[in-house]
Amino acid sequence: MSTNGLEHCLLRRPAAISPADATASHWRERLIEFLPDFLNSHPRLRPIASAAAMALHGSTAMGVDDDGSDLDIWLALDKEQVWALNRGAGTGFFGFDLNGKAGHLNAESWESLAARIEHCDMDLIFQLRRAVLLRDPCGAFGRLIESAWRPMRRETRDALFQYHYVEMRGEHRSCDNPLARGDAMAALLAVGKTLGHALRAAMVLDGEPYPYDKWLYRMAVQTKSGGRMAPYVDAALEALESGALHRIGSHKDNPIDRALNAIRAELIRSAQAAGLSAPWLYQWWLYIPQSREAQRTARWATGD
C-alpha cells in the first residue's frame, strides 16, 4: 500500500478512547448522587440497596457521551440475592432515566462474574478494565477489576490466538466461491466473520482482551499488531464500498480477497515475531478441532 493510502487509512481510524476522561467522571458524580435514592425508592431494589456494589461500564465509562450512549450499570450481589430479585421482580434488569439519559441496572452475582473472568470472557474483562466504580461496600468489585487487569498468560494468549487465527482462515476460505460467483450476501457474511476473527487474533496476540463487535475495530487498531493490519482492513472496507461483492470472476482477482490475503500475511508475520511458529499457521485445516478445544479450555489468571 502506498504512503498516501496509509495516511488515508490513519485519518479514517476512530480516535482513541480514554476511560478516565471528564465524561466518565461527570457521570460518576451524578450516579453516586442519584442511585441511592433510586434503589431505596424502588420496591424490589430497596432490600438490597445497602449490600449492592455498582460500577458503570460500556460506552459512557469509556468516555463516549452522545445520543446513542446510555448508562450501563453492573449491580453485583450474592447469588442468593440475585435469585430472590429475579423471583420477586421477574427480571434482574431495571431501567431508569437520569437528566434525560437512559440507563439500566443489570443484576449479576459475584460468582457468575468471577466464573466468566476465569473462563476468558474477553468482553467482560475488557469492560472491567474500563469500569468506573460507583459503590463497593465489601471491596469485591475492586478485586474483580484487579483480576481483569492481570496480564494475559502466555498459554492463554497462544490458545486464543490459535483459535481466532484458524477460524479466520476457515472463514476466508469460505469467501472464495461467493466472491467468484458475485454472491454478495454470502460473501459479505464470510468477509465479516473473517475480519472479526482477524481483529480478535491481533488483540490477543498483543495480550489485550477484545470487546464485542461494536468496539472491536476501534480498539484493535490501537494495538501494535492491529495497527499493522489496519491499512488492509481499511482496504477491504474500501473494496466493499466500491461494489466488489458483486463482481463475477476469479476470487483471486477480487480486491476484497487481496486485502484478506494481506491481513493473513501480516498476522503470520506478527505471530512469528511474537515467538509463534507453528504448523497450524499454514496447515490450519488440520487443527480446527484442536484450536476449538484450546479456546474452550483457556483460563484467565485470577489468582497469584
Over residues 75-116, the pLDDT tens digits come to 999 999 999 999 988 899 999 999 899 999 999 999 999 999
| DSSP-assigned beta bridge partners for residue 101 | 98
Greater confidence, 20 or 248?
248
Taking alpha carbons only, the member of 56, 59, 16 closest to residue 220 is 16
Main-chain phi, psi angles of 301, to 5 degrees: -80, 105
Alpha-carbon gap, residue 180 to 253, rounded angstroms: 9
Determine the pLDDT at residue 24. Answer: 83
Taking alpha carbons only, the member of 74, 85, 174, 75 closest to residue 124 is 74
CA neighbours closer than 13 Å in the CB half-sphere of residue 221:
19
List all residues 6 or more positions away from 292 whose beta carbon is below 8 Å from its beta carbon: 163
Alpha-carbon gap, residue 239 to 241, rounded angstroms: 5
Alpha-carbon gap, residue 163 to 183, rounded angstroms: 27
Determine the pLDDT at residue 26. Answer: 87
pLDDT above 80 for 270: yes
Q: In this predicted model, what pLDDT tens digit does every residue of 174-209 receive, in sequence order?
A: 999 999 999 999 999 999 999 999 999 999 999 999
Could you tell me the pLDDT band of residue 17, with boundaries at 50, 70 and 90?
A: very low
Q: Which three cell numbers stand for residue 178?
A: 461467493
Q: In this predicted model, what pLDDT tens digit does every residue of 285-301 receive, in sequence order?
A: 999 999 999 999 999 98
Q: What pairing do the DSSP bridges indicate for beta strands 101-109 and 71-77?
A: parallel
Residue the block writes with cell 430497596: 46
Determine the pLDDT at residue 77. Answer: 95
Q: How many CB atoms lie within 10 A of CB 58?
A: 20
pLDDT above 80 for 165: yes
Alpha-carbon gap, residue 118 to 8, rounded angstroms: 40
Mean pLDDT within 35-59 = 94
Q: Which three cell numbers stand for residue 181?
A: 460467483
pLDDT above 80 for 144: yes
- C-alpha dist (Å) from residue 247 to 58, 178, 255: 39, 10, 10
Q: How many CB atoms lie within 10 A of CB 247?
A: 20
Alpha-carbon gap, residue 231 to 13, rounded angstroms: 10
Q: Which three cell numbers stand for residue 143?
A: 478485586
| DSSP-assigned beta bridge partners for residue 93 | 106
Contact 233, 214 (CB under 8 A): no
Contact 221, 198 (CB under 8 A): no
Question: Which 3 state secondary structure label does DSSP give 168?
Answer: helix
Determine the pLDDT at residue 283. Answer: 97
Dihedral sign for Cα 273, 279, 285, 290, please.
Answer: negative
Determine the pLDDT at residue 6. Answer: 33
- pTM recorded for the entire structure: 0.90
